[in-house]
Amino acid sequence: MMKVGIIGCGFIGKEIAKFLDNNNLHELTALNDINKTNAMNLLKILKNNSPKLMGLSDLIKKCDLIIESASRDVVAEILRDRNLDNKNKILLIMSTGGLIGNTDLLMKIKNCRVFLPSGAIAGLDAIKAVSGRINSLTLTTAKPIAAIENSPFILKNKINLKGIKSKTTIFEGSLNDAIKGFPQNINVAATLFLASKFGDIKINIVADPNAKLNSHQIEATGDFGKITAITENMPSENPKTSYLAVLSAIDIIRDLNSNINIGN
């Protein structure tokens, strides 16, 4: 049974902790959050595990499975930690946007196994399979207003989201521009880039005042033909997070105990 540490006790971290607490797969040993109130509130709802609050480096040192569910800014700090690169450790990264610009740190990891969940999208197995053969790749993300309000791109361009009455494309651009403009909404785009290794992804972000779901559509073309994948997700209690992201992380954790793996 592995010792598990969770970095980030927001919605995703809380749901993963509840899963571990209700399933006797691994021992939830440690929690870390820059906001200690989040961690303390999580401790109160756990029934079968009594994790300790630890600093980042101590958690990485003492745990076998490290789950990052904090923010993209924490990812580089985790990858730089001297206690991480150990053959007995597994790192699961939810904030894949934090890897963009830090892939050099990721490539230096030789012993620790690193998992990047598919998150809120379907089709990554196919995209990985055709990596290196892609001619064009587009990601169109449509979200409710609440999921994108206060994003830097919205504030900088003084976009009046309340004035939008129907589905409207508010951003078209590159991955790097999307990261700058929508830092809390780019994990899907980052994961798609890491799977495809295609540097010229076109990102479209659509504001939909009538939407109740977060929608992601991937279109890839190449000598293999065409891949289209559409995922419509229920948002979580955090409108910027799809509940499917939580389920994809839980699936990886569950599969760590299985000798049968489906997909690549």
Rounded to a whole number of angstroms, the CA Rg of the chain reads 19
Contact at 8 Å (CB) between 12 and 36? no
Joined tokens for residue 127: 């995209």
Residues 40 and 3: their CA atoms lie apart, in Å, by 19
Residue 26 known to be catalytic = no
Contact at 8 Å (CB) between 144 and 208? yes
CA-based nearest residue to 68, from 51, 85, 80, 56: 56
- The DSSP-derived string for 93-162 is ES-GGGGTT-HHHHHH--SSEEE---TT-S-HHHHHHTTT-EEEEEEEEEE-HHHHTT-HHHHHTT--GG
Give the active site residue among 14, 61, 143, 216: 216
Paired strand residues for 226: 221
Contact at 8 Å (CB) between 219 and 201? no
Contact at 8 Å (CB) between 96 and 191? yes
- Which of the residues are catalytic? 216
